[in-house]
Amino acid sequence: MLLSVGDDAGQILVRAGLFYTGIIAGCSCADDPGPVEEQNEYCEISVTIGKHSGKASLTLIR
């Protein structure tokens, strides 16, 4: 989900929210198979893209 977009002289700045499904597994012990459960999760990232090089860097915000 796009949260914001901006730019300055040399780079494009994007802030985005990502929704994904994580897995919480059991301890994987022989006597405790533990069910694999999916869990909906969310994080926010900052993407910086160089205007001249096209090089991108990502930073986890939360």
Ordered by start, the domain boundaries in the chain are: 2-60
The predicted pLDDT at position 27 comes to 63
Whole-model pTM: value is 0.74
Measuring CA to CA, how many Å separate 34 from each of 24, 38, 40, 47?
9, 13, 19, 37
What's the DSSP call for residue 30?
Answer: T
Provide the CA 30 distance to its chain's centre, in angstroms: 33
Cross-strand partners of 2: 16
- Residues composing the chain: 62
Local mean pLDDT, 10-residue blocks, the chain (62 residues): 96 97 72 74 97 96 92
| Number of other residues whose CB lies within 10 A of the CB of residue 40 | 8
